[in-house]
Amino acid sequence: MHPILKFFSSLRLTVVLLSLSLVLIFFGTLDQVEFGIWETQKRYFESFLVVWSYPLSAPAGDALQWIKLPMPGGYLIGGMLLINLLAAHATRFKLTWKKSGLFCIHIGLILLLISELLTDIVSVESQMSVDEGSKSNYSETILDNEFVLIDRSNPQLDRVHAIPSSLLKKGKRIKIPDTELSLKTLDYFPNASLNRAPQDAPDTSPKKPQIANKGLVERIDLQVTPLAPQYAEDAINTATAYIQIIDKNEKALGTWLVSNVIDERFPPQILAAGNKSYEIALRFKRYYHPFQIELIDFKHDKYPGTEIPFNFSSEVYIKDPKGAVKQKALIYMNHPLRYGGLTFYQASFANNDQTSIFQVVKNPGWLLPYISVLLMGLGMCFQFGMHFIKFLQKSRTR
């Protein structure tokens, strides 16, 4: 056998890769204390290489923070395992009755690795919050932001032009699709704090010049202090930007300060361009759905005399955009609603039990893990069952 093929199909490589994955998972669990689940997942499991460093917050963090440990990331290990498995099956394995269990396990594993990759790439998670008695046709994610121009001239329907925040790079100019306008990002902060500029500022702290000249800053003099992005589980980053809008004649229409904290609580920031006017905002990324969810009733029951909940449930109508009821459903713990390629889970609640919050997941590959684990489970039961029976026979004859 060719030595390269031999290397890639060897059991030794399997054991090494499995050991590396053990190390990766261990550190990928530890670092969740520092960076939260989302960020750690990206760094460790959706990457090719990752460097762990001794956390500052751990005992003796000051003295030991020079300790760094590079290791292969999830994509690298997973990919190598996949190659290893395929190579092994191509060279060493022969499909025999005795080994059919192993085959099942390995095919299941291949499917699982692929489905995990697929989930990373195509699945979308967001949250929808609905008040009792009202409805919603969108969900949003606090992990991502978008810059929007909203055209409210049609009373039936708003027209939203959205630009993902990943395209807002300092100094870059982008054309806003379906309009004659373009925008230039003067500055962008993934996280920041917004404060009213001190009124009678003493000269000791030099006042930063106000870059924006339109919108909210015309009434309140807001100052932006950039902050490091936060990764804790429920941390919300205040994405903030200075956006200049330029019309088709290359004329600057003004610069706006937009931020996801400048939300519905404030009057909308208006952009007037020729005979059209838009609302502009930087907000959490929204996903619009071709149907509405109306919350009829949210229930939150606790065990008597305790704060321990035993039930959260939301009774909802699903309505088409015209308001006709398509379906009625009860969403509760361990019982999600699957509709229109999306799955709605009871995730949280707010506003004194008046508001229900759903986790909305779009994962076209959701069935794959089920198939793969079925294969693996069956294979394992078969393989070890055979071992076990043989073992029992042997010990009986002894």
- Nearer of residues 75 and 266 to another protein, judged by Cβ: 75
User: Minimal distance in Å, beta carbon 232 to another protein?
Assistant: 9
In contact, 329 and 318? CB cutoff 8 Å: yes
CA pair distance 398, 389, nearest whole angstrom: 14
Answer for which of 8, 9, 28, 130 binds another protein (CB under 8 A) is 28
β-bridge mates for residue 329, sequence order: 316
Which residues within the stretch 155-184 sit at the binding site for another protein (CB under 8 A)? Answer: none
Which DSSP letter does residue 203 get? T
In contact, 335 and 344? CB cutoff 8 Å: no
11-30 and 32-40 helices cross at what angle (nearest 10)?
120
Pair of tokens at residue 79: 């990919």
User: Minimal distance in Å, beta carbon 6 to another protein?
Assistant: 13
Provide the 3-class DSSP secondary structure of residue 344: strand
308 binds another protein (CB under 8 A): yes
Other residues' Cβ atoms within 10 Å of the Cβ of residue 305: 6
Pair of tokens at residue 108: 């299941």
User: Minimal distance in Å, beta carbon 353 to another protein?
Assistant: 13
- Nearer of residues 284 and 358 to another protein, judged by Cβ: 358
- Identify which range of 65-73, 211-219, 314-322, 366-374 contacts another protein by CB under 8 A: 366-374
User: Minimal distance in Å, beta carbon 110 to another protein?
Assistant: 14
Answer for which of 6, 7, 11, 158 binds another protein (CB under 8 A) is 11
122 binds another protein (CB under 8 A): no
- Identify which range of 19-27, 164-172, 190-198, 314-322 contacts another protein by CB under 8 A: 19-27
User: Minimal distance in Å, beta carbon 28 to another protein?
Assistant: 7
210 binds another protein (CB under 8 A): no
Answer for which of 66, 96, 304, 324 binds another protein (CB under 8 A) is 304
395 binds another protein (CB under 8 A): yes
User: Minimal distance in Å, beta carbon 385 to another protein?
Assistant: 9
In contact, 289 and 342? CB cutoff 8 Å: yes
391 binds another protein (CB under 8 A): yes
Answer for which of 198, 226, 377, 393 binds another protein (CB under 8 A) is 377
380 binds another protein (CB under 8 A): yes
User: Exposed, middle or buried, 278 (CB in 10 Å: 0-12/13-18/19+)?
Assistant: buried
Provide the 3-class DSSP secondary structure of residue 321: coil
- Identify which range of 4-12, 173-181, 199-207, 285-293 contacts another protein by CB under 8 A: 4-12
4 binds another protein (CB under 8 A): no
- Look at the block and give the residue holding tokens 């920041």: 192
100-122 and 367-397 helices cross at what angle (nearest 10)?
160
**Pairing verdict, β 355-362 and 124-131:** antiparallel
- Identify which range of 60-68, 185-193, 251-259, 387-395 contacts another protein by CB under 8 A: 387-395
In contact, 28 and 20? CB cutoff 8 Å: no
Answer for which of 303, 341, 353, 393 binds another protein (CB under 8 A) is 303
- Identify which range of 130-138, 149-157, 251-259, 369-377 contacts another protein by CB under 8 A: 369-377
Cα radius of gyration rounded to whole Å, the chain: 28
H or E, element range at 222: strand 222-226
Which residue type does 215 have?
G
If binding means CB under 8 A, how many residues of this protein chain bind another protein? Answer: 61
- Look at the block and give the residue holding tokens 């330029």: 246
Other residues' Cβ atoms within 10 Å of the Cβ of residue 22: 9
Which residues within the stretch 29-48 sit at the binding site for another protein (CB under 8 A)? Answer: 29-30, 32-33, 36-37, 40-41, 44-45
Provide the 3-class DSSP secondary structure of residue 286: strand
Of 152, 179, 181, 176, give the one whose Cα is nearest residue 164.
176
> What is the binding site for another protein (CB under 8 A)?
10-12, 14-15, 18-19, 21-22, 25-26, 28-30, 32-33, 36-37, 40-41, 44-45, 115-116, 119, 125, 233, 302-306, 308-312, 333-336, 343, 345, 347, 359-361, 363, 366, 369-370, 373, 376-377, 380-381, 384, 387-388, 391, 395
